[in-house]
Copies of this chain bind each other. A is one copy, B any other.
Amino acid sequence: MSIEIIAIGNEVLSGMIVNTNAAFISTELTNAGWHVARHTVLPDDPKLLEQGLRDALARADAVITTGGLGPTCDDITRTVAAKIFDSALERDPGLAAELEMRYGKNLPSLEDLSLAPVKATRLPNRMGTASGWLFSQPERNLALLPGPPREMSVMLKEVLLPELPAAVGKQPQTQCARTLHLCCLREDDVDPLLRRLSADYPELQAGIYPGYGSLTVRFSGRNKSHVQLGVEAMERDFGTYLYEAPTGKIEEAIHGWFKGQGNGKGKTLAFAESCTGGKMAAQITALPGASDFFLGSLVVYANPLKTGLLGVSENTLRTCGAVSAEAVAEMLAGVFKVTGADLAIAVSGIAGPSGGLPDKPVGTVWGAIGERGKPVEVGHMYLPLSRETIIAATANRLLGALYRKVRFGIPFRSFER
């Protein structure tokens, strides 16, 4: 049982619009136990679209398209599908009446929008004007959804997914999948274990998806116990790197800890950021409810702000430099003093591309993590990467290190790589 997803539209092929619809549909289908075999984007061209749809229908058990259902001249999906299924298009008086009731008599293209392929079932669109359609024949199933994500997503969840088993005459495979998120690790830290697991359990599928300074590992397969063995092996070898996050972001885990019922409840957090330039704060505050625990961040990009706001000593800056263990330790002391936070992170590094020194090349970063009144933990990392990657990986690694500290009691140390 396999499903292909096809987006239709020159605006996607020209790169003006990113095909987020395919990712959304894939996630929903995969979570429901269906297998997605292919994504395709085809142009607003009747011949190329017809050929592309016929090829996909021949390969897959079901094809879901997005786009090309509106009333403008370049919306051709319904017509092409009707041709493939040898279906006439006829005015549907019930649909016309419904559209008129919802949008008034003056809805442009009311007549066009009311044309129904007689061999298709209508998929109602309560978010917009263009209906979806489901053509269902033995071995040939084609569902047409509109392109706007907020219309498509509602129709997929509310209408198409519930109808899919009956339409294709199959139930989704009960496939077991587990997704694990790991902070402060790199792909090659985890790869050897996954290779061993794949050798031991050939049916177990394991994927590694590196982020910046974090990783996602996904196990899937028919055999639930193999998936479980994979998860247990990861928990055994990397237990203190694992974090819970609905969309995989380390800041979600941090929110969870500070807002949870455990030790974090009632504690507060603040940052002193130099090279990350506010990114750590922006990540924490991107999520709702940050004000429950997050006090703020002192983005002390210029050295006079490090001394003036945080009390970093001129002597430290002169003798050790702003990117040093001493400087971040003083920044951390300063942020505790200024904000009164319970927990804090301070960071200073060289994000490049210029500004590197022989003993401190671009990618050198020092961080400090601590709890108020307790000894400071200082560590460094070296990330010889692009500016954007250095900033992103630094933020995620330090947030990850904070999480490991508060959640598992792991002290923050230098990253060896």
Contact = CB atoms under 8 A, between A and B. Distances in A.
Q: Main SS of chain A's interface residues? A: mixed
B19 A22 contact: yes
Contacts of A222: none
A414 interface: no
Contacts of A285: 275-279, 299, 301, 351, 391
Contacts of A340: 304
A25 B15 contact: yes
A286 interface: yes
Report how many copies the assembly holds: 2
A11 B207 CA distance: 8
Contacts of A23: 12, 15-19
A208 interface: yes
A387 B286 contact: yes
B277 A299 contact: no
Interface in A192-213: 194-195, 198, 205-210
A11 B216 CA distance: 10
A297 B299 contact: yes
Interface residues of A, number: 104
Contacts of A275: 285
A39 B38 CA distance: 10
A16 B27 contact: yes
Contacts of A206: 73-74
A354 B41 contact: no
B301 A294 contact: yes
Interface of A: 7, 10-20, 22-30, 36-44, 48, 52, 70-74, 102, 108-109, 127, 148, 150, 179, 187-188, 191, 194-195, 198, 205-210, 216, 218, 268, 271, 273, 275-282, 284-286, 288-291, 294-302, 304-305, 308-309, 338-340, 351-355, 384-389, 391
